Amino acid sequence: MTMIGHLIDGVMREDAARTQDVFNPSTGAASKQVALASVETVEEAIAAAQRAFPAWRNTPPAKRAQVMYRFKALLEEHADKICEMIGEEHGKIAHDAAGELQRGIECVEYACGAPELLKGEHSRNVGPGIDSWSEFQALGVVAGITPFNFPAMVPLWMYPMAIACGNTFVLKPSERDPSSTMFIAELLQEAGLPNGVINVVNGDKEAVDVLLSDERVKAVSFVGSTPIAEYIYSTANANGKRCQALGGAKNHAIVMPDADMDNAVNQLLGAAFGSSGERCMALSVAVAVGDEAADTLVAKLEEAMKPLKVGAYSDRSNDFGPVITRAHQQKVNGYIDSAEADGCKIVVDGRNPQVEGFEDGFFVGATLIDNVTPEMVSYKEEIFGPVLQVVRANSMEEAMQLINDHEYGNGTCIFTRDGEAARYFSDHIQVGMVGINVPLPVPVAYHSFGGWKRSLFGDLHAYGPDAVRFYTKRKTITQRWPSSGVREGVSFSFPS
């Protein structure tokens, strides 16, 4: 069975003292094994990054950008292979994997602009013969800890910009689907990145805790569940590190009575069930304003869900694939069971679908649940599966209050034809990413991604302009060259 190891100082290595199976979620069978890094292995990766930092820091930004240009070309050249790897280990259908990869490539494109983004600021003659300027300098060794649901895109949110800014990087990807992440890192080496600038260690909590405690690591980026995000953030801060930790979500869509209902239904289907709902931006709750709108919405959703196909990643005609593990399949089914026990109506039941030829796969079909209320466990918690819940509200204000009261504040949207309502919604909703008739308001690469409340721990969002600030530290220099022959007296006043 193939063993996936670690990339340290430009060399692929195996640290096979501890291993874990990597499953194909479409078949339910173990297809590979991944080595789980020991403390010593992670420390070696950090040491390699630290050795590489001085030379890479002093590499001109334009030369760093040239590596990123070549990297982008290699990603596009090998896109089909990367998408196949994602499908084999995550279960995403090819078209979904291609969309994920493209979003990652856009972040590489943004990193290609490092010479412009790192120019700094300059002011001449802030005082007599005095100039002042700010520079954005690299931090040193930085780390990323990334989730299973976007094995290509989320790492590409992090290390292209970190490296373009002059840092060196240690990546700890998800051990559930590591192949595409490792292959992409190898492509970056092929693009001309010096050894040690990017290092990849596969592992579990043992590896994570080394990254959080080692004083050579100056900053940590994380994407995952809220409990782990909170742990990462508090531990990193306690060890003096800069940290951004993106957590979970429970994203609501308000459907107003005046909405284009057919369009709203189509948008909700893709946003709720794409990637089997395993997206932190998945729309998992539709809040219908008024019973008439709710009845219409549920009826149209039920009808539109009939032809949806769940199945193996290898069949491009499928709409979405399996969830990541058998345990997660059982967890998602448990939330559906819970909603049913709480008195909800299971309009479309996706529990235990039969997928011919893949009977042992980790499949959950598209599920629609009506009459959900805020006190239910299935409403409060992130399901992270292909489940869409419908909550009924009497007014837009009541619908907005539901969203503002929830502990998560990642993404939200409103479906309406009323510009005044849309403007009020975007002004007053307590959520970090907002869509107006856009169900997945994921910012483009030259903006930044991040939620509010318990969806983000830290001040700076991921990728885009915030990434430049996160992966650099500002140094402000004030310079004066006195005129020759001019002797000045002592001044004890504060300079002005």
Other CB atoms closer than 10 Å to residue 353's CB: what's the count?
Answer: 17
* CA distance linking residue 445 with residue 72, whole number of Å: 14
The answer to whether 280 is a known catalytic residue is yes
* H helix runs in 350-406, sequence order: 377-380, 396-405
Identity of the residue numbered 99:
G
**Closest listed residue to residue 342, CA positions, set 311, 360, 369:** 369
User: What region, left, alpha or beta, does residue 458 occupy, with left being phi > 0 and alpha being psi -120 to 50 degrees?
Assistant: left
* CA distance linking residue 210 with residue 169, whole number of Å: 14
Strand partners, 456: 246
**Closest listed residue to residue 317, CA positions, set 82, 94, 149:** 94
257 in Cβ contact with 303 (< 8 Å):
no
Q: Can you tell me whether residue 152 is helix, strand or coil? A: coil
Helix (H) or strand (E) holding 457: strand 456-457
* H helix runs in 429-463, sequence order: none
167 in Cβ contact with 471 (< 8 Å):
yes
* CA distance linking residue 200 with residue 21, whole number of Å: 18
146 in Cβ contact with 177 (< 8 Å):
no
Other CB atoms closer than 10 Å to residue 406's CB: what's the count?
Answer: 23
Identity of the residue numbered 81:
K
What tokens appear for 79 in the block? 């896109």
Q: Is the dihedral of CA 261, 266, 269, 270 positive or negative?
A: negative
**φ, ψ at 349 (rounded to 5°):** -105, 115
Indicate which residue of 107, 165, 243, 280 is catalytic: 280
396 in Cβ contact with 371 (< 8 Å):
no
* CA distance linking residue 147 with residue 279, whole number of Å: 10
Identity of the residue numbered 186:
E
Strand 367-370 relative to strand 345-348, pairing: antiparallel
Q: Which residues have a Cβ under 8 Å from the Cβ of 51 and sit 6 or more positions away?
A: 9, 196
Q: Can you tell me whether residue 54 is helix, strand or coil? A: helix
Helix (H) or strand (E) holding 473: strand 472-480
- What residues act catalytically? 280
